[in-house]
């Protein structure tokens, strides 16, 4: 629940109570800069047209404005920003391979510093730093693995040096003689002597963990590792590691998830401010004693922090949340993510040391880290198998918004928004063929509705972050999920997005700001080699056939039990353009395909010997595709299986971390991280008594989707797309 000026309840049940004043920023701000006078603050936001949110102080009042490049409204966003003076701003343009000098208040262009010169091409202008005394602009070129130095006065390249890997974080030493850059995938921090801008020299490559951003302060260099929740401290003289400062939560010391992603130095108190994106806080480290002093509450997903003369500024990726984007009259927003994903800038006087204990307790309380007085519901003893199906990007209302009651009472639903419900309205889009009329009162998702009637579902479940079949939401790094399962002897099989189509060692796409670099060599264990990655050209019914075929071949026909954990990606309800020639006459046909495939998968699982011990969770990876009258993040959660309460609606505020918490309890393994350890407990969706009846797939409405006609635009698989796979036709009672 978004409540500006008060505590806001986040999707999943956590609370944010950021300090000071809150100012709306653009979509997902990724960078923050404060001018030398401290009276102008800028965030670089996501979107197009290189949007900036500008806050200017007028006496005691901060005035907000938004700057967009009207000449490049269809292009990208700035990656990093730093002030060149009181009004002039350097801003890197990412894949355009240049840095712009602009007027921070008007957005007026002044100059472009091009990286694609002297034979260089495809440059990515990443992190930047500026030495005002020497007028030296330092730019990381991530694509070409180099540091480029511009003489900003003469507006030309002064020098460059190769760094030995794709750089991410950048820091300039206080005396301007050295640059430190992090290479996350190489697990290294590189030190460059830049005393001579014309001939920079690589001084040392320090191998250390998975470094993200770096800070040079006094005689020390601080580097954050978001995977291990530590800040590495190096001597600026010897360039040796002095200490690792651990960021830990009392009672959860063995778990990770604070996600330290950036750093800032506050010289008056000699504090290192650590942005902890995972727990919505700013950690405070004493730079002298190298000890954690406490934590300050932030808004949702802080990404950058700065302090100027005792005043703190924090840029928060998701701000205070979004609230609803539908009413009784229908959707109330256009659906553009820039309108929903509003970030926030917090401005407040920096608290004193005496305030840290109380503020730290507030952070623990907001995140659910304090002991609960209510005991969790028991997990049925007969459960020991879990299947998690991760789908596309639908909200609750647009699919189950016509389900106004369940066996245990009313459901928070809004029928007019249920465009993919049992009385769905299929509207002809302007780019579709004229002779195809819209359809009204059509059952688009018979299986979603039958699953909700037969088993349990939630009307208070939210997609509050990056959710995918590889476990990003729970771990920050997919490979750690597999390590966790192997450590505790849990067999698993992954039918996750992307893994089947990547070769080991292939470059992983550059992570977005605030995300973690992945290690590709660890992503393929126990993964299907034939299951498609994300592609709306592949029918979900074909995915269902491939899944069932592999389960038949490798487990059932061999008389082996199914893996205890199965992760399955079913992305078709992300939707795509109409392709009548391929069996998709409407955009909604993708939803119907997804629904039918889901029904077939549950039917298949219900006919296996392990069904009597199985819990099946179905959820969406996001909610950006539609409208919802409770919150734009509210989405679907279905819990199927013999122990699921029939037609039971859970009203517990929960998210994907809660699903993993319950899955861990079913699998009898400990929590993986802070996120799931402190999540809501959904065990109340199950009962002690089992009903192992098989599920029967509900037929799709053929006017919308005919499984026998669905195919890829270009044939890429010989697997059947319809009902002719033997594994879905025969009943399996025992091996």
C-alpha 68, offset from chain centre: 26
SS (H, E, C) 57-84: EECCEEEEEEECCHHHCCCCCCCEEEEC
Query: What distance in Å separates the CA atoms of residue 343 and residue 339, rounded to the nearest whole number?
Result: 10
Encoded tokens for 331: 């959707």
Find all residues with CB under 8 Å of 503, minimum gap 6, and list them.
none
Q: Is the Cα dihedral 600, 603, 609, 614 positive or negative? A: positive
Bridge-based pairing state of the strands 385-391 and 614-620: parallel
Strands 456-458 and 648-650, by their bridges, are parallel
The CB density around residue 632, as the number of other CB atoms within 10 Å, is: 29
Give CA angle at 455 (449, 456), nearest 5°.
95
592 backbone dihedrals φ, ψ, rounded to 5°: -65, -40
Domain boundary assignment for the chain: 210-323+335-369, 415-510+523-688
Strands 311-319, 342-349: parallel, antiparallel or unpaired by DSSP? antiparallel
pLDDT of res. 712: 85
Q: Which fold has domain 415-510+523-688?
A: Alkaline Phosphatase, subunit A (3.40.720)
How far apart are the C-alpha atoms of 397 and 412, rounded to whole Å? 9
Write the CATH number of the domain with boundaries 210-323+335-369: 2.130.10.10
Can you give the pLDDT at residue 534? 81
* CA gap 427, 396 in Å, rounded: 20
Cα three-residue angle 362-297-624, rounded to 5 degrees: 115
CB-CB neighbours of 646 under 10 Å:
12
Across the chain, which has 735 residues, the per-10-residue mean pLDDT values are 67 93 94 97 95 95 94 90 97 97 93 94 97 97 97 96 97 97 96 97 96 96 95 97 97 94 97 97 97 97 96 95 80 55 94 97 96 87 96 94 97 94 73 49 95 98 56 40 90 70 30 34 62 87 95 95 95 92 93 97 98 97 87 95 98 94 96 92 95 96 93 55 34 29
Alpha-carbon dihedral angle through residues 55, 56, 60, 61, given to the nearest 10 degrees: -60
What is the rounded CA–CA span in Å between residue 62 and residue 481? Answer: 44
Residue count (the chain): 735
Give the sign of the dihedral formed by CA 678, CA 649, CA 449, CA 324.
negative
Instruction: Work out the end-to-end distance of the chain between its first and last CA atoms, rounded to an integer number of angstroms.
Output: 49
- Residue 502 tokens, joined: 């990547």
pLDDT for 372: 82
- In the numeric block, the tokens 């360039």 are attached to 239
User: Are 281 and 269 contacting, i.e. CB atoms less than 8 angstroms apart?
Assistant: no
SS3 assignment for 371-397: CCCCCCCCCCCCCCEEEEEEECCCEHH
Distance CA 427, CA 446 (A): 19
Closest by CA to 406, choosing from 635, 686, 648, 650, is 648
Maximum distance among all alpha carbons in the chain?
79
Q: How do beta strands 291-297 and 40-44 pair?
A: unpaired
pLDDT for 596-652, tens place per residue? 999 999 999 999 999 999 999 999 988 887 899 999 899 999 999 999 999 999 999
Structure tokens at 188: 């290294």
pLDDT of residue 465: 57
Does residue 349 contact residue 301 with C-beta atoms inside 8 Å? no
The answer to whether 191 touches 183, Cβ cutoff 8 Å, is no
Task: For residue 554, give the DSSP letter.
Answer: I
Cα–Cα nearest to 555, from 621, 493, 486, 617? 493
The pTM assigned to this predicted structure is: 0.88
Strand pairing class (178-183; 188-193)? antiparallel
* pLDDT at residue 721, rounded to an integer: 40
- Predicted local confidence at residue 428, as pLDDT: 57
For residue 504, what pLDDT is reported? 27
Residues 6+ apart with CB under 8 A from 121: none
CA atoms of 648 and 26, how far apart (whole Å): 39
CA angle 154, 156, 160 (to 5 degrees): 130
Helix (H) or strand (E) holding 62: strand 61-67
């Amino acid at each position: 629940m978004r409540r500006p000026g008060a505590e806001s309840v986040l999707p999943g049940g956590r609370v944010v109570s950021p300090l000071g004043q809150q100012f709306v920023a653009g979509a997902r701000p990724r960078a923050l800069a404060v001018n030398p006078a401290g009276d102008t603050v800028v965030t670089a936001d996501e979107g197009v047209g290189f949007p900036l949110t500008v806050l200017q102080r007028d006496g005691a009042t901060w005035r907000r404005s938004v700057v967009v490049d009207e000449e490049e409204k269809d292009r990208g966003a700035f990656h990093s920003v730093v002030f060149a003076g009181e009004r002039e701003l350097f801003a890197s343009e990412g894949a355009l391979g240049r840095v712009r000098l602009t007027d921070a208040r008007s957005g007026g262009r002044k100059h472009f510093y091009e990286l694609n010169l002297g034979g260089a091409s495809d440059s990515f202008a990443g992190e930047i730093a500026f030495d005002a005394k020497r007028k030296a602009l330092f730019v990381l070129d991530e694509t070409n693995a180099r540091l480029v130095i511009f003489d900003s006065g003469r507006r030309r390249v002064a020098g460059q040096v190769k760094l030995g890997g794709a750089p991410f974080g950048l820091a300039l030493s206080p005396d301007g003689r050295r640059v430190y850059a992090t290479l996350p995938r190489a697990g290294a921090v590189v030190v460059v002597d830049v005393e001579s801008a014309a001939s920079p020299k690589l001084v040392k490559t320090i191998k250390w963990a998975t470094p993200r951003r770096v800070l040079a302060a006094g005689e020390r260099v601080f580097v954050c590792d978001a995977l291990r929740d530590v800040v590495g401290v190096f001597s600026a003289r010897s360039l040796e590691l002095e200490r690792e400062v651990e960021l830990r939560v009392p009672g959860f010391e063995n778990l990770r998830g604070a996600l330290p992603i950036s750093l800032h130095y506050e010289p008056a108190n000699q504090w290192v401010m650590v942005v902890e994106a995972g727990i919505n806080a700013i950690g405070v480290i004493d730079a002298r004693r190298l000890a954690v002093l406490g934590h300050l509450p932030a808004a949702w997903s802080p990404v950058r922090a700065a302090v100027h003369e005792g005043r703190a500024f924090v840029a928060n990726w998701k701000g205070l949340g979004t609230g609803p984007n539908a009413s009784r009259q229908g959707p109330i927003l256009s659906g553009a993510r820039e309108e929903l994903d509003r970030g926030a800038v917090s401005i407040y006087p920096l608290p004193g040391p005496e305030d840290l204990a109380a503020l730290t307790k507030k952070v623990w309380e907001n995140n659910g880290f304090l002991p609960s007085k209510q005991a969790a519901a028991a997990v049925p003893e007969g459960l020991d198998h879990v299947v998690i199906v991760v789908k596309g990007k639908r909200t609750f209302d647009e699919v189950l918004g016509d389900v106004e009651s369940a066996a245990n009472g009313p459901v928070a639903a809004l029928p007019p928004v249920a465009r993919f419900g049992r009385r769905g309205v299929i509207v002809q889009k302007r780019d579709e063929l004229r002779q195809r009329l819209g359809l009204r009162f059509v059952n688009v998702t018979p299986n979603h509705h039958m699953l909700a009637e037969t088993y349990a579902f939630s009307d208070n479940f939210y997609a509050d972050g990056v959710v995918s079949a590889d476990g990003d939401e729970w771990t920050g790094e997919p490979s750690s999920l597999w390590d966790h399962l192997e450590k505790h002897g849990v067999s698993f099989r992954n039918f996750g997005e992307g893994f089947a189509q990547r070769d080991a060692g292939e470059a992983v796409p550059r992570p977005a700001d605030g995300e973690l670099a992945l290690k590709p060599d660890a992503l393929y264990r126990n993964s299907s080699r034939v299951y498609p990655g994300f592609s709306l050209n592949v029918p979900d019914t074909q995915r269902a056939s491939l899944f069932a075929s592999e389960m038949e071949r490798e487990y059932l026909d061999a008389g082996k039990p199914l893996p205890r954990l199965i992760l399955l990606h079913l992305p078709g309800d992300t939707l795509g353009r109409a392709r009548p020639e391929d069996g998709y006459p409407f955009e909604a046909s993708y939803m119907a395909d997804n629904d039918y495939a889901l029904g077939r998968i549950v039917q298949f699982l219900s006919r296996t010997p392990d069904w009597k011990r199985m819990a099946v969770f179905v959820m969406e990876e996001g909610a950006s595709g539609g409208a919802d009258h409770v919150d734009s993040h509210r989405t679907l959660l279905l819990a199927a299986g013999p122990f699921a309460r029939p037609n039971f609606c859970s009203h517990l505020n929960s998210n994907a971390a809660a699903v993993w918490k319950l899955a861990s309890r079913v699998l009898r393994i400990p929590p993986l991280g802070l996120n799931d350890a402190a999540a809501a407990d959904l065990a109340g969706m199950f009962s002690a008594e089992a009903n192992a009846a098989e599920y029967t797939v509900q037929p799709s409405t053929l006017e919308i989707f005919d499984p026998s006609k669905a195919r890829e635009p270009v044939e890429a698989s010989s697997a059947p797309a319809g009902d002719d796979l033997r594994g879905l036709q025969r009943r399996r009672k025992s091996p």
